[in-house]
Structure 1
């Protein structure tokens, strides 16, 4: 989390420099522009599929993930999204500024968007990026808690054209991530559990304990992260179709019954065919500070690897911030994870 004192910050409503009106979108592209609705999910998903294949995306979008964009009180598709429809009702381009207000950490909209390959090089990507940035600034200007802020764009490292577009709009690369995988056909580590601790399967009745542990460990120590409230945790972490509770685990302190670490997993089967292997994916893993350096993360990861293997998966996968100060990259490497492909975060600091 950012260490800047809010006493040193101008009001976010000033820093955001939000426009009163969003910029116009191209009127000469043969498209009708309007917000996305739940009824548009099939056409929106069709666009995302074409774009993912054309761009050989590291991660492919699932239809259920698009449906989740209409859940949660912080989502406002009428104001935060726009899409270009051709005369047959096909979605040919879209943009969405996703913003979840927080009370600590960093206020940070993330911009999503895509343009059909046949509609590229007409200025649509540039116009949609400008539109979504402007909407992100409006979202920040309306924030009720004055915190450090940034507008985010995540890109695959191989997508050089998209990176040039973002950099031309003033976004700066600030963080790099690497996807890693671990062959489950190779002998797994012992997964020693430290004394005074036990590893248990995740269960819904411990969900609130896990959320609190996340907020007090990962969210407070991991760069750029902010706490989840109960609703956003339910929607974004444990409510998605791809979440696998049977592949998720908690580390429990025996003397107190307190959750001191956790690992949350997903099965993103839409990625398996294009990447050429099946995979259990570790979405989140963290350990409270006082238990770090004792092998807790390794025990959680080993438990997950065994669950993935029992589920017929060929690999265990995860991604890691290469600048993570906890030494996570080294932990993963020692457990047999190997680097695959990268992504990066570009931002405008507000």
Structure 2
């Protein structure tokens, strides 16, 4: 079915008038999360991530940033379950930023403290957050494709079983890859007519536009990133490292043709047992591909990681990436590690 044939998403969403009532299991009481809950939220998330051996760990700043962004409404999009002592024991939220191109795709987040599991709380929360996602989609005037998403680590059997039992289907697999920086690094050899330079805030908007015109055009499930979201979720994050990030320019035009943006997620390092420079985004305009630009950008970042004393370079990749990225990363010395799974419900 083409986009032109899709009915309005407000119809496809089948949004409920009211959200499901959450259970008072184990004496839990429910309300929306607020900025004042961040310390308790972080304590819960840290306990859950340690128990579940999560591939990625959260920082307290990550959670505080959820309350920023004009598209967000935490008072309606989040809920927390508190015990009689006021301790947060479970939460859920639906993250959704409307877009004008690509796919409308809320993503659901949630967790239950290990001591409160197997009581139906997780199922109730995923049903609540899905209902909220449908309400979010129901308020949008658009006929774009839409899907509701849930992401989990592949080794987390409980989370996968919960997603599948509530009607979500595994749709995509993402592989975490890692490269030992103690091994000889590849040279930075861009194609003729291409110049690699360090990231510059002055050219940041051009990098965002390049991202939207390259990455969002060709990568499954991608949609353009707004200027506000780019600043909040990419550039002004706790871990972003401009000194590890690079931009490729066409020497004839001076235009941005590729980029790599990297971060230091120090909250992951203790659990991993090593330091890591992480490539968040890597993209090359379609007409400039096949000229070694992506490899040159990654090589520049690897050299910057190593100069900072970092032990490994890391990134993740969609196993069905149409640009052949998985093979390209392997040739650069990256090894496959753990895998994540994207579950979805398509609203066709």
Same fold (TM over 0.5): yes
Query: Which ranges in structure 2 are unaligned for 5 or more consecutive residues?
Result: none
Cα deviation, residue 145, structure 1: 2.3
State whether structure 2 residue 279 is matched by structure 1 residue 277. Answer: no
Scaled by the length of structure 1, the TM-score of the pair is 0.98
Q: Does 239-248 or 316-325 show the bigger shift?
A: 239-248
Q: Does 49-58 or 87-96 show the bigger shift?
A: 87-96
2:13 corresponds to: 16
8 A contact 1:102–1:145 mirrored in 2: no
1: CA distance, partners of 2:148 / 2:127: 12
State whether structure 2 residue 66 is matched by structure 1 residue 69. Answer: yes
Equivalent of 1:296 in 293, 298, 303: 293
1:345 corresponds to: 342
Cα deviation, residue 180, structure 1: 0.4
Cα deviation, residue 257, structure 1: 0.7
Total equivalences in the alignment:
347
2: CA distance, partners of 1:28 / 1:65: 29
1:90 corresponds to: 87
2: CA distance, partners of 1:28 / 1:308: 48
Cα deviation, residue 10, structure 1: 1.2
Cα deviation, residue 158, structure 1: 0.1
SS in structure 2 opposite 1:272?
A: helix
Cα deviation, residue 29, structure 1: 2.6
Cα deviation, residue 239, structure 1: 1.2
Cα deviation, residue 320, structure 1: 0.3
1:175 corresponds to: 172
1: CA distance, partners of 2:292 / 2:141: 40
1: CA distance, partners of 2:38 / 2:143: 34
2: CA distance, partners of 1:126 / 1:225: 28
Cα deviation, residue 162, structure 1: 0.7
SS in structure 2 opposite 1:208?
A: helix
State whether structure 2 residue 51 is matched by structure 1 residue 54. Answer: yes
Q: CA RMSD in A?
A: 0.7
2: CA distance, partners of 1:174 / 1:223: 11
State whether structure 2 residue 228 is matched by structure 1 residue 231. Answer: yes
2: CA distance, partners of 1:174 / 1:87: 39
1: CA distance, partners of 2:245 / 2:140: 34
1:141 corresponds to: 138
8 A contact 1:47–1:91 mirrored in 2: yes
Query: Which ranges in structure 1 are unaligned for 5 or more consecutive residues?
Result: none
Cα deviation, residue 266, structure 1: 0.7
1:111 corresponds to: 108
In structure 2, the CA distance between the partners of 1:292 and 1:119, relative to structure 1 (3 Å rule), is same
Scaled by the length of structure 2, the TM-score of the pair is 0.99
2: CA distance, partners of 1:156 / 1:17: 29
8 A contact 1:33–1:83 mirrored in 2: yes
SS in structure 2 opposite 1:151?
A: strand
2: CA distance, partners of 1:109 / 1:66: 18
2: CA distance, partners of 1:166 / 1:156: 12
1:26 corresponds to: 23
1:207 corresponds to: 204
Cα deviation, residue 45, structure 1: 0.2
Superposed counterparts of 1:192-341, under 5 Å: 192-341=189-338
SS in structure 1 opposite 2:235?
A: coil
1: CA distance, partners of 2:80 / 2:26: 12
8 A contact 2:8–2:141 mirrored in 1: no
2: CA distance, partners of 1:178 / 1:279: 16
After superposition, the C-alpha distances for 1:187-206 in whole angstroms (9 at most, x for unaligned) are 00112111001001001100
Runs of 4+ with deviation above 4 angstroms:
none
State whether structure 2 residue 129 is matched by structure 1 residue 122. Answer: no
